[in-house]
Amino acid sequence: MLAGMARVLGSIPKGLLSSTGLIMAAIAVFGYLALDLSWVRDAKGTGSSPLYGTDFFQILARNIGAALVLYSGVVTLGLTTLIGAGILALYIGATLSLGLNSVGGATLFADVMWYVPFEFLGLVLATTAGLQPAAGLAGRLMKNEPVTVGSFIDSIARSLGSLLVAVVLIVIGAAVESVLIHLKT
């Protein structure tokens, strides 16, 4: 299994995964810094939101839905992936800001450290998968290699491998998150 994952990750165009992660992290920092937190103190103690379920399948559906939106760029040459990744990264940054200002850094870190790395890496990998076909086409054009339907289909096939690894990471993250939530309640 690890050899298969290494092969899948090795098929990603050089620098695409790391640059995707760095750009999403930078946008998340912007989302973190841009949020107006003046209302947080007033909102403490208002209860939890029914929009965010604690059940494994609710968590999984939410995160897989986000991953599929990120992957949709395979049919739009990356456009929907770029838009979705930007929005997701802003959301992550704003959520981090709210969490830090609501419960504090130590509590937030203790609550999320076991599952957020799986979920975030899975979403970054889904974003990368959504950009893989466009990056493959761009790479072929930059090398003056012919762009064919076959080369595009090959890029899509490789991106499906990346998406599969992303989904596995997201499933692990959702499982850990739901177990931790149930242990706390």
**What pLDDT score does 65 carry?**
95
Question: Is residue 4 over pLDDT 80?
Answer: no
How does pLDDT run across 116-140, given as a tens digit for each residue?
999 999 999 999 999 999 999 999 9
What phi and psi values does residue 143 have, to the nearest 5 degrees?
A: -90, 5
> CA–CA separation, 5 vs 21, rounded Å?
18
How does pLDDT run across 133-174, given as a tens digit for each residue?
999 999 999 999 998 999 999 999 999 999 999 999 999 999
Q: How confident is the model at residue 109 (pLDDT cuts 50, 70, 90)?
A: very high
69 near 122, Cβ under 8 Å?
no
What are the percentages of helix, strand and coil residues in the chain, rounded to 5? 80, 0, 20
| Neighbouring C-beta atoms of residue 51, cutoff 10 Å | 7
Cα dihedral 53→58→64→68 (10° resolution) = -90
How does pLDDT run across 6-63, given as a tens digit for each residue?
888 888 888 899 999 999 999 999 988 888 777 665 555 555 544 456 789 999 999 9
How does pLDDT run across 68-102, given as a tens digit for each residue?
999 999 999 999 999 999 999 999 999 999 888 88
**What pLDDT score does 184 carry?**
82
> CA–CA separation, 87 vs 102, rounded Å?
22
Residues contacting residue 181 through CB under 8 Å, at least 6 positions apart: 54
Question: Is residue 185 over pLDDT 80?
Answer: no
Residue-wise over 118-157: b if at least 16 C-beta within 10 A, else e?
bbbbbbbbbbbbbbbbbbbbebbeeeeeeeeeebbeebee
Please state the length of the chain. Answer: 185
